Amino acid sequence: MNRKQQLFEGVITNNPVLVQQIGLCATMAISTTLFNGLGMGLSVLIILTCCNVVVAAIRKIIPEQVRLAIFVVVIAGFVTIVDLLLQAFIPALSDALGVFIPLIVVNCIIIGRAEAFSSKNSVKDSLFDGIFQGLGYTAVLIAMCLIRELLGSGTIGGGLLNGASSFITLDGTGAGIRIFPQEYAAGILVLPFGGFLTLGFLYALMQHLLSKGAKKKDAKEKEVQE
């Protein structure tokens, strides 16, 4: 399998959020500061990769009738492990993400990839699929966090960066770097409503770029034919 193409598919042409349109609830709920977005993205990336590998490894012994039940057990297991590790080693992130870490169990991206990809492909391919799809998810989260945080609160890197003495704060308490005063920010963008709005605009942009890309490809193919 071509890794470059797989990466391109995971991040762009088959992006889990913007193209497959799955895993949306957490995307809209937590993408308010960079710290949350990055943490959630990386958690999903790790869980997705682990689940993909395990599902691919046992794909030949999984009976068809109970495959979904087994996927759920594997996913729930890894989610709980990540949840416990976060609580023990990055408590700030665990506090910030709250219920959304346990909710990864029902995140469609992971069970979707298990059903559509790793239950049909080798361990190696599934490993890369997990990483690339995870990167695609993280990229969208970061984009949404940047937009919502900048326009909604007038800062960049909330939780992670700090305008004051210590530049990087890993405990999630940083106030972010202020770009413009809070008074001029459209606070509605950090509310759930703003999540829908931002995601809508990102969809539009993505569809525009994809159709543009498709047209170019068509034109190229036509030229070759002529």
Partner 1 sequence: MKKAIDFVRPALVLLIVAAIAALVLGGVSLATSGRIESIAQEKMENAMQAVLPASSYADTGYEDDGEINAIYEAPGAGWVVQVTESGSQGLVTLMVGVDVNYYCTGISVTESSETAGLGAIASQQSEKGDAFRAQFVGQTGTVAVTKEGGAIDAISGATITSKAICRGVTAALNVCRTLSVSNAIAVAAPVTGSSDASADIYVTQTVPTEAQPAPLPNTEPAPPAVNLPSAEPGTASAG
Site residues for partner 1 per CB under 8 A: 22-29, 32-33, 36, 58, 61-63, 65-66, 69-70, 73-74, 76-77, 80-81, 84-85, 87-89, 91, 95, 98-99, 103, 106-108, 149, 152-153, 155, 158, 173, 175, 182-183, 185, 187, 190-192, 195
Please say which residue, 1 or 69, places its beta carbon nearer to partner 1.
69
Q: Whole-angstrom Cα distance, residue 84 to residue 122?
A: 29
Q: Report which residue type is found at 82.
A: V
Count other Cβ atoms within 10 Å, centred on residue 176: 22
What is the helix, strand, coil percentage profile of the chain, to 5?
75, 5, 20
42 in Cβ contact with 135 (< 8 Å): no
The nearer residue to partner 1, 2 or 166, going by C-beta atoms, is 166
What is the nearest approach in angstroms of partner 1 to the Cβ of residue 131? 20
Given the complex with partner 1, which of 65 and 225 has the nearer CB atom? Answer: 65
User: Between 165 and 225, whose beta carbon lies closer to partner 1?
Assistant: 165
Q: Cβ of residue 30: shortest distance to partner 1, in angstroms? A: 8
Tokens 């990483």 belong to: 131
Q: Which residue carries 């890794």 as its tokens?
A: 3
